[in-house]
Amino acid sequence: MKSLHRISILYLTFPFILFCLGWLRLSIAIPVVLIILWAIWKLFAQSTNPQSTNLPYPNFQSTLYLLLITGTWLFLSGIGGYTFQNWDHHWRNAVFHDLITYDFPVIYSAPEKGPVQMLVYYVGYWLPAAWVGKLIGWQAANFALFLWTWLGVLLVVFHLARKSEATSPLHRLKWALLLILFSGLDSLGTLLFAGEYPTLFPPIQHLEIWSGNLQYSSFTTQLFWVFNQAVPAWLCVVMCVTLSEAKGLEHNVEDSSLTAKRFVQNDTIGQLIFIWSLCLFFAPLAALGLLPYLAIELFKHTDFKSPFKNLRLDVLLASGIIVLVSFLYFASNTAAQERGLQSIALKDFLVFFLLEGGILWLVLAPLKWRDPRWAVTGLLLAIIPFIQLGSGRDFIMRASIAPLFYLMMMTGEAIFQKSTPRLLLITLYLFLALGSFTPFYEINRSIYRTYEYYFVLDLSQRTQPTSEVVTHLEQPGVPEYEHPGSLVADKIQTLKFMNDKLSKNFIANVRQSFYFRYLSPH
């Protein structure tokens, strides 16, 4: 299904093009966009990527079920504001508001002398919907964001289904359910090691925080809290896998000569780097977690006898530009300058590692120990908790997206193939069942608060949006009791006046930055 690959590339590239046109000087933006478009055109015109194989399209019934499952999941995530939004949406809605209200780039103050306060964040994911909001308003923008996210989730599921031995409609539904329900054993951590919060009852609590600042978020939690980083990161990861793992790579060209094979290998290398560069633009921390896997794929596909022959220079140039522009923009925010290693008690680390993926990783060893990606997954899950980047716990939660996704894919391969030993299969299903408590609790919280809002509270108990200027937002307490009387976490109408610690992740003084001095249109 060549169209699947092409749509995915366009889905990831379109926001970056919008970013260039709004955040770069036209004298820079126009040639950059032209280079990106040229690389994509050449990629589509000449690529012999493994997505070109013909696969059966889903029938109407399976498509309807897939749309229903993913659409319900997305509806309950709070994206669009139709159901309960968790605390993180205060910040994501604020970013979305400002992208719609302000000109690009979003600058809050620019005196002749002194600090230039600018929005410096991973804004790319919102840009298509933000343009809709600029044209026809906030409600339309939220609907566009919902549809944009739905498309991204569907692309992820269709790529996942390509990994199955048979890409039947049933396999697409299985992969969708695995994506929704996959998680670490937070329920056991909560039962055995948590303090006063969380507990297993009532079944609407945020089980992810059972280990304090150590957290590997389930994919449902990622969607419900940080969709702007999660969805594009998932898509980049699964595209890298399907590009690399497609069977019969050398046979996708008619010429079976060594030169043709090298062209296919180098074409794959170029595409892998291009996809990773886009991941860096959407979710830099997730891209760091993906980098070791990229190194494995580059090593696998490089012909060391002639590593540079037939290499796609146009794609590499486009990739380099995406990396450079993204880096210079993000580097203008110094919030992440705090780096180092954090100490964790051995007992706390072992408990966290084993329950948050380590046991499942070990169970997969008989099937996957020869796969270097299995070894890298375990290594990353073991070392990520010790790395500190910035003042919060974002690194551990976001850099783990890629290894957790690989762990989920390896688990899916094991349970969906007929050759898996029965005892191993039962063990995997048991761990998946225990892990599913976490996404079920996230979903149940959304259902509970949404039902309460529409059917329990009367109009006098529902809080209305306020135009009150907010300068500080309290850290989240108990998620199920956040912003009572309201579905939407929309307390911060704009980031312009925010001056607390967390706001520094979004707002930066960019006057002395390379980006502002040489790339910004202001």
Give the number of other Cβ atoms within 10 Å of residue 161's Cβ: 27
Give the number of other Cβ atoms within 10 Å of residue 462's Cβ: 13
Interior/surface letters 210-231, b for 16+ CB within 10 angstroms, e for the rest: bbeebbbbbbbbbbbbbbbbbb
At residue 52, the pLDDT reads 43
Rounded Cα distance, 313 and 316, in Å? 5
DSSP string, 351-380: HHHIIIIIHHHHHTHHHHTTSHHHHHHHHH
Please name which of 352, 339, 302, 332 lies closest in space to residue 504, comparing C-alpha atoms.
Answer: 332
Backbone φ and ψ of 129, nearest 5°:
-70, -35
Amino acid in position 71:
G
Backbone φ and ψ of 72, nearest 5°:
-65, -45
Let me know: does 449 contact 487? Beta carbons within 8 Å: yes
At residue 171, the pLDDT reads 80
Only one residue has tokens 């780096």, namely 339
Please name which of 365, 392, 390, 395 lies closest in space to residue 377, comparing C-alpha atoms.
Answer: 365
Question: From the centroid of its chain, how far is CA 380?
Answer: 17
SS3 call for 389:
strand
Is-cis flag, bond preceding 202, omega within 30?
yes
At residue 54, the pLDDT reads 45
Please state whether beta strands 107-109 and 387-389 pair in parallel, antiparallel, or not at all (unpaired): unpaired
Beta partners for residue 119, in sequence order: 507
Q: How far is CA 126 from CA 10, 66, 415, 490, in A?
A: 15, 24, 35, 16
At residue 255, the pLDDT reads 42
Supply 491's token pair: 């307390």
Task: Report domain extents, the chain.
Answer: 2-444
Amino acid in position 483:
H
At residue 334, the pLDDT reads 81
Beta partners for residue 341, in sequence order: 387
Q: Give the mean pLDDT per block of 10 residues along the chain (522 residues).
A: 88 98 98 97 69 52 91 98 97 97 96 93 98 97 98 96 65 93 98 95 97 95 98 97 66 43 61 96 97 93 69 89 98 79 93 98 97 97 91 87 98 92 96 98 98 94 82 88 94 93 92 96 88
Give the number of other Cβ atoms within 10 Å of residue 162's Cβ: 22
At residue 308, the pLDDT reads 65
At residue 169, the pLDDT reads 65
- Report yes or no on whether pTM surpasses 0.85: yes
Beta partners for residue 274, in sequence order: none
Rounded Cα distance, 465 and 85, in Å? 14
Only one residue has tokens 């970056």, namely 16
Rounded Cα distance, 332 and 121, in Å? 10
At residue 266, the pLDDT reads 53
Rounded Cα distance, 268 and 48, in Å? 9
At residue 383, the pLDDT reads 97
